[in-house]
Structure 1
Amino acid sequence: MPTYVAFLRAINLGPNRKFAKADILTATEAAGATGVQTHINTGNVLLTTPLRSRAKVEAALEAAYEAQAGFAVPTIVYTPAELVAIADDARELSAARPDLERHYVYLLKDDPDPALVAEVEARSDDVNAIVVRERAAHLLLGPGYQAGGVDPYKTEKALRVVATNRNFNVVTTLADKWCS
């Protein structure tokens, strides 16, 4: 059976969107998954499922999560190989920029439109950059970051896809822990 890593969007951010790890485990198993593990309480889930299509896995998890939590939980799913590639890209991009203060990775539900990618990447400047590779957008924030063209809060909206973000450490830790 295939293994996937799922990233839940917009949970545990306020009083109305609480979704405890125990409830995530229960809902993931209710969706037919086995071998379920979570990492910190931000919606990172490892699972094995008989489903073989990313879209079917996402749909099954989203239905189970909404039934358990009582609100919609957009879910972005990757294969272990895809997550390793994202982590490798993150390491490469960070190594090339030793001055980085922050590195966020926006995990995208769908492939972004190439024209929108070009538009978003063009917002990069000498200190801050956006690099989109496949279904991941890397925000590389340099010293003294101030909101401007490279804005973490506007990236998802500009790419017009559902996304969730994790920092460099979470992405690389999960790739090492779950995908090697």
Structure 2
Amino acid sequence: MKTYIAFLRGINVSGKHKIPMAELRELCDSISLKEVKTYIQSGNIVFKSELQNTSELESLISKAILKSFGFEVPVIVKTTSQLRDILNDNPFESEDEIIRKQVYFVLLNDLPKISELTKFKVESYENEEFSISDSCIYLKCKVGYGKAKLNNNLIERKLKVLATTRNYRTMHKLLELSY
């Protein structure tokens, strides 16, 4: 049995797509996910499963949420080793940046097309830096993510992929919970 981390996009934001975490854990138990833990209200689930395919797990969770809560929620699933690699590859790793809460991780569901990536790589945003890997865009938002122009919606629109964003603290906590 392998440990996975599911990232739900857009739940419990501004009163929309409300999913209580206790109900989400029960739902995950009902679809045979094991040792289910949630972290904060933004849709982070750590669980174990016999299934080995992250796409199958994404579909399983998404369909269960639709059936139970009546709305679609995009889901991105990563293995513990994928999450660890994402954190280890963070180019903005420094105590000063982390303390000021400037570092964010935009998790990508699919690889963007080369043509979209090429156009995106030359973009520039004041007080913001980014670095791109296969499964994540690392953001450094010098004035905070709330004021960032380079946000999840913009990245999804420009790269034409599903994405969800988490901060440094959340990513590290999820890795810790996965052990």
Task: Determine if the TM-score, normalized by the shorter chain, exceeds 0.5.
Answer: yes
Please name the residue that 1:66 is paired with: 66
For 1:50 and 1:144, how far apart are their aligned partners in 2?
39
Q: Indicate yes or no: 2:169 matched with 1:169.
A: yes
With over 3 angstroms needed to count, the CA separation of the structure-2 counterparts of 1:50 and 1:96, relative to structure 1, is same
**1:129 deviation in Å?**
1.5
Please name the residue that 1:93 is paired with: 92
Normalized against structure 2, the TM-score is what?
0.86
Q: How many residues align?
A: 177
With over 3 angstroms needed to count, the CA separation of the structure-2 counterparts of 1:126 and 1:97, relative to structure 1, is farther
For 1:47 and 1:101, how far apart are their aligned partners in 2?
27
Three-state SS of the structure 2 residue aligned to 1:36 is: strand
Please name the residue that 1:110 is paired with: 110
With over 3 angstroms needed to count, the CA separation of the structure-2 counterparts of 1:143 and 1:26, relative to structure 1, is closer
- What is the percent sequence identity of the aligned residues? 27
Normalized against structure 1, the TM-score is what?
0.86
> How large is the Cα RMSD of the aligned pairs?
2.4
For 1:136 and 1:144, how far apart are their aligned partners in 2?
19
With over 3 angstroms needed to count, the CA separation of the structure-2 counterparts of 1:52 and 1:151, relative to structure 1, is closer
For 1:153 and 1:97, how far apart are their aligned partners in 2?
27
**1:135 deviation in Å?**
1.1
**Runs of 4+ in structure 1 displaced over 6 angstroms?**
none
Please name the residue that 2:20 is paired with: 20
The answer for unaligned runs of 5 or more in structure 2 is none
Please name the residue that 1:134 is paired with: 134
Kept in 2, the 8 Å contact 1:62–1:72? The answer is yes
**1:82 deviation in Å?**
0.4
For 1:108 and 1:93, how far apart are their aligned partners in 2?
18
The answer for unaligned runs of 5 or more in structure 1 is none
The residue type paired with residue 24 of structure 2 is I
Kept in 2, the 8 Å contact 1:23–1:68? The answer is no
Which 10-residue stretch deviates more, 129-138 or 109-118?
A: 109-118
